[in-house]
Every structure is written in structure tokens, then in C-alpha cells.
Amino acid sequence: MTDKKVKKADIVAVANAAKVSASTVSRAFNHPDLVNPATRKRINRAVEKLGYIRNRAAQAIHGRRNATIGLIVPTINHAIFAEVIQSFSDAIDEAGFTLLIASHGYSLEREYDMIRKLMEHRVDGIALVGLEHSEATFRLLRQQEMPCIAIWNYSGTSDMPCVGADNREAGRLAARHLLQAGHRDIGLIFPSIEGNDRARQRLEGAMEEIRTHGVEVRDAWRQESPYSITLAKQAVRGMLDSDQRPTALVCGNDVIAQGAIFGVQSRGLSVPGDVSVIGIGDFNGSLDMEPGLTTVRIPAEDIGKVAGQRLTGLILSETREMFRYRCDLNCIVRGTTRPLT
């Protein structure tokens, strides 16, 4: 009676208060149809009164599901991932799951650690960004038979189920748009491709398309820049200061494109008058820029939603079936590119 160490209510406390056994309380939660409505009511009242909160941990111990899904992203602080995280979160929430999230800052080493961490929490499934992961990661996922899905990237021959876009195609589309507009002096600004298959494939796709058109890209016109407006701005300036400057730029994503545009403008040149710029992604906000950014749209919201639905489906159905979902890409022409006259 001393409220010194007032123990938190557990299931037996509820059971006592409702004058039933713990089993019945448990059943009232997990198989409500098996318990008498009147009893159920009594139990609910007791729960209410005692402020009882179920313990998922104690459920998980019984091999039951945990109702958590782990998502590992390179970084949360990035428009495009934020968007995909949000729609993924909403989709799994719909199915009653909670999101356990971790970020690794573009290190596949750390990604592995994060996966282990999520597994210690006995998540019911894991979603990763991209299809490129360390050998240890693949081994671990296989060995633990963890339902998993790769988002953001599509490949017809992936080991994991995936929901995403064909990034090589995205790169191709971006380059093609410029080439078809008559551009031949094309610069490229992409992030480091280290541990980032999305960037690598986009770059490869773009280069491929350019070469197919018999066009060469000068070394000076290939710049590396992280996903940062400031740094992209700097990177593009270097390119413009050489005596020869490109008439068009393919950018690794919309953030880089944004930076590139500012870089061009800060040199007193105009977009698209002097330099056309195309991005990849179609981030929230790219539409609203002035001029609107021409870009290859990757439907982040779709990807998150479909991935969430598929992964929860996989978990609930207890199957491990393979599936690959490729979302459509299209080049959205707005105001930052123009045909070379």
C-alpha cells in the first residue's frame, strides 16, 4: 500500500482487477473473439483504471511479431529521403507497424552495424536503400531469414526484392534530353560513387547515352560534388572559369542542380540562356523554383508507399517471395533547359 515503489501495472494486475486469469486478459488482446464480450468490457475497464500498457517485448519473446520495421537510410537530412521515409512510415503504420530508423552516413560498414542493431530489436523486417551492400550484410540477412526489401533502386536481377527506379535509365533520360535539344558540350556533376550505387548508375547511364551519340566529355567538365547546394555551386564555378564552358549540365540530383544553377548565375550567366541544367529526382520544391527545374522525376512518395505495402505484405504472409517493382521515370521539362539554336 505504500506508494513508495508503485509497481507498474502488468497483465496479472489487470487480471486481478478484472477478476479473471492472466490468460483471459492476454486473449482479450490477441484473440478478442474468444472471450465473452462482458468479460472483455470488465478487462478494458481494469486496463483503463490501472493505466496498463502492453509489453511488446514480452510478446516478441514468444516468437510473435514485434510490429516494428527497420529502415536504414544513408541520411535522414535530405529532401528526397525525408519524402520516402515519410511515405514508407505512413504505409507501414497503416498495417500497424512502427518504424525503427537508423542512418549510416553513406558508410556500408556502419550500415552493417545498424542492421545488427535492428536485429537485436527483433524487427519484423528491414528496408535498405539501394542494392549495393557489403557481403557481410547480405550474409547476415540471408542467415537470419530476415524479410527485407531494397528501396530506391531497381534491378531486374537483384538478389533482394526491390522497389525503385532504374537509375541508369534516369541518367540516360537526363542526358538524352540535353542531347536531343542539340547540346554537345555537356558537363556532369555527380557525387562520389563510393558505396552509392544510385549515383554510380546514374552517372554510367548518362555517360553511356552521351557516348552513344558520339559525343565526348572533357575531363574538366566532370566534377564531383556531394549533395550540397554550396559545394555544387563551387564545383560548377570551376567548370565555368575554364576558357571553354559547357552549354549544358547533367546533375546527379536536384540539390546539385539547384547549386549548379546558382553557380551559373553567380558568374553572371543565365539559366537556361547560357547554360541548360537538368537534375534527377524532382524533389519537393523543384517545381516551384524560378525557373522551374527540368528534371527526371523519381516518384519518391510512390516508392515509399509501395515498399511499405510490399514489405508488410511479405511479413504478414510469412512468405519470402521475390518481387521487383520498377517505377516509371519521366523527364519533366520545365524552365532550366532549352534547345540549342
Position 81: which residue type? F
State the nearest-atom distance from the C-beta of 205 to its own copies, in Å.
Answer: 27
State the nearest-atom distance from the C-beta of 23 to DNA, in Å.
Answer: 3
Residues 6+ apart with CB under 8 A from 288: none
Residue 234 binds its own copies, judged by CB under 8 A: no
Residue 53 binds its own copies, judged by CB under 8 A: yes
Residue 157 binds its own copies, judged by CB under 8 A: no
Asked whether 39 and 24 are in contact (CB, 8 A), the reply is yes
Grid look-up 540549342 returns 340
Measure Cα distances from 86 to 48, 199, 239, 299, 317 in Å.
32, 22, 36, 13, 24
Residue 220 binds its own copies, judged by CB under 8 A: no
State the nearest-atom distance from the C-beta of 133 to DNA, in Å.
Answer: 25
Where along the sequence are the contacts to DNA (CB under 7 A)? 7-8, 10-12, 15, 19-27, 29-31, 34-39, 54-55, 58-59, 61-64
State the nearest-atom distance from the C-beta of 120 to DNA, in Å.
Answer: 9
- SS3 call for 100: strand
Neighbours of 62 (CB within 10 A): 7
Residue 322 binds its own copies, judged by CB under 8 A: no
Instruction: Name the residue nearer to its own copies (CB basis): 78 or 326.
Output: 78
Residues 58-117 that bind its own copies (CB under 8 A): 58-61, 66, 68, 75-79, 81-83, 85-87, 89-90, 93, 98-103, 116-117
Measure Cα distances from 10 to 28, 31, 182 in Å.
14, 19, 72
Tell me how long the chain is: 341
Containing H/E element for 134?
A: none
From its own copies, DNA, none, interface partner of 287 (C-beta below 5 to 8 A by class): its own copies
Asked whether 232 and 240 are in contact (CB, 8 A), the reply is no
List of residues contacting its own copies (CB under 8 A): 8, 51, 53-61, 66, 68, 75-79, 81-83, 85-87, 89-90, 93, 98-103, 116-122, 140, 143-144, 229-230, 233, 258-259, 262, 265-266, 284-285, 287-290
